[in-house]
Amino acid sequence: MLLRPRQKSFVDRSTTALNNIGNTLSVAPTGAGKTVMFCSIVGNFVAGNDRKAVILAHRDELTDQNCALFQSIKPSIPTSIFDAKTKAWDGQVTFAMVQTLSREQNLETMPAIDLLVIDEAHHAVADTYQRIIDRARELNSDCRIFGVTATPSRSDHRGLGRVFSNAADKITVGELVGSGNLVPPHTFVMDVGVTTDLTSVKKLGNEFDME
């Protein structure tokens, strides 16, 4: 698969940070092709050697989609899935469900890996993810950690610095619109019948009074 120029620079910058620092977070909006990019990074990392990688996701659909796309991009690299139904480590790249792998009895079966990829990496500071990260580093202190997300800011304001010491790249919507890869976004506001009701709600500054 041929990457667009901005996708290639994203892959190159992320790979450089992984090699030089050992961990990195890269940010890209919906529509940028995050899955294609991190699959390219993983494929390049394990191709032609005996390195092993794990790609984490928090939903079955994402695990299946990520695996299917990776197979279409890098068909020569063997894959496996570790979820509630299938628990296999025989692939060079394993696509794992966080909720399943984070259980103690499952973590004990995990082999040493060289690269841990966290899809939707804003979840990375959650306890389930931390157990997996700690186990990966316990088995291989040189294991690289790569995160990718469209939304690095968490609503609970917990920073991602515990996992990622740097950000390799950030693609913006403006970049993609300017390059013709995304159509300009348009906002539509729909009245669902509550506008009149909301006029009686007290405001504090520009925000509604939550009380």
Q: What is the pLDDT of residues 29-85, one digit of tens each?
A: 999 999 999 999 999 999 999 999 999 999 888 999 999 999 999 999 999 999 999
**Stretch (H or E) spanning 119:** strand 115-119
Let me know if 3 is exposed, middle or buried by CB neighbors in 10 A (0-12, 13-18, 19+): middle
Residue 206 identity (one-letter amino acid):
N
What pTM was estimated for this model as a whole? 0.87
CB atoms within 10 A of CB 107: 16
